[in-house]
Amino acid sequence: MAGVSLRNVLKSYGELQVIHGVSMEIADGEFIVILGPSGCGKSTLLRMVAGLEVISGGQIAIGGRVVNELEPKDRDIAMVFQNYALYPHMSVYENMAYGLRIRGLPKSEIDARVQKAAGILELGQYLERKPRALSGGQRQRVAMGRAIVREPQVFLFDEPLSNLDAKLRVQMRGELQALHRRLGTTSLFVTHDQVEAMTLAQRMIVMNAGRAEQIGAPLEVYARPATTFVASFIGSPPMNLIPKDGKLLGVRPEHLEPCSPADAMLTIELDLIEPLGSDTLVYGHIADGQSVRLAARLHASAPAQAGKLPVRYAPQHVHWFDPVTGKRIGP
């Protein structure tokens, strides 16, 4: 197994630059999630690690070896694609064995590896089926099996759960975590889903418009977003950003608590109330006439009705950002 180093990685298509220098050291065995909205370059970054896209600048090293010029098969990686990309005419067994057969492994070794992977993924009874005869979750598992049998240095996942329904996604998320605990292989996982990122990642890299906005452990990123983009991308509803004294004041919806009008630090003019059972989300704008939208997460028992809601927040929950650069100010 091996770590991965990204050193000022650049990607451009002709004049158009899509990745503007991403650097990161990924330790051996780490589970890294690359998170960002569509078109931020996260898949491109992953495909550059895989060797499916040419690296325009900088270096990518896997296990200390610079792989810029290497073909995917020589990088010792395995990739799981969003639409699974299983070979439709091959059985589950053949799908998993294909890469090993090309590498010229002996039949007995191939069989041992496929059987082992099928055991881990509980695919034993489906080995003779064609992908067409499998459900989405089973296909996903075959795609993972195809990656596992290669016993690679690094797993690359390109939004592997986004084609599954919500319930299956939660289940596969759990299986992925268990798989990573079991195999301990360095993994890069691309997603636009912040819940996947928060639950799977040991560290995550939040990308926006081809730049890494923040790299860190999920809770650390949540607690101390480095930029307004990260602050509003992670967390649902996103962090409230209120202009104050020439700066931007950020406070998460769950840190706003209702209070008496005398204690109010803010007053929200409510116009939308969403009772979720466990808690209630309320939305509105600041009552002082500014058009700033606010959201608050209230305890389910709190009375919520349209009208003015005075709220306050504790000073330790306040974040400050520069309104021009969007960067975090202070600790």
Residues interacting with another protein, by CB under 8 A?
Answer: 50-52, 71-73, 77-79, 81-89, 98-99, 102-103, 146
Give the residue with the Cβ less far from another protein, 51 or 218: 51
d(C-alpha 192, C-alpha 66), whole Å:
28
Which residues are CB-neighbours of 91 under 8 A, at least 6 positions away?
127, 128, 129, 130
Please identify, using beta-carbon distances, which residue of 13 and 87 lies nearer to another protein. Answer: 87
Q: How far is the CB of 154 from another protein (least distance, A)?
A: 12
- In the complex, what is the shortest distance from the CB of residue 66 to another protein, in angstroms, rounded to a whole number? 19
Q: Strand 31-35 and strand 203-208: pairing?
A: parallel
**Cβ 278 to another protein shortest distance, Å:** 39
Minimum CB distance to another protein smaller for 109 or for 271 = 109
Q: Which is nearer to another protein, 43 or 228 (CB)?
A: 43
For another protein, which is the closer residue by CB, 14 or 315? 14
CA distance 56 to 41: 14
Backbone angles phi, psi at 190, to 5 degrees: -100, 135
Angstrom distance (rounded) from CA 169 to CA 145: 17
Instruction: In whole angstroms, give the CA distance from residue 197 to residue 218.
Output: 7
Query: How far apart, in Å, are the Cα atoms of 32 and each of 73, 94, 196?
Result: 22, 30, 11
Min separation Cβ 83 and another protein, Å: 6
Closer residue to another protein (CB): 93 or 321: 93
| Backbone phi and psi for residue 246, each to the nearest 5 degrees, phi listed first | 75, 5
- In whole angstroms, how close is the CB of 88 to another protein at the nearest point? 5
- At closest approach, how far in Å is the CB of 289 from another protein? 52
- Least Å distance, CB 21 to another protein, is 25
**Residue whose CB is less far from another protein, 101 or 327:** 101
**Residue 261 backbone dihedrals phi, psi, to 5 degrees:** -55, -30
Count of Cβ atoms closer than 10 Å to residue 56 Cβ: 14
Q: Which is nearer to another protein, 104 or 331 (CB)?
A: 104
DSSP states of 44-88 as a string? HHHHHHHTSS---EEEEEETTEE-TT--GGGTTEEEE-TT----T
| Residue 135 C-beta: closest distance to another protein, Å | 17
Q: List beta partners, residue 321.
A: 248, 328
> What token pair was written down for 277?
């059972």
What gap in Å lies between CA 180 and CA 182, rounded to an integer?
5
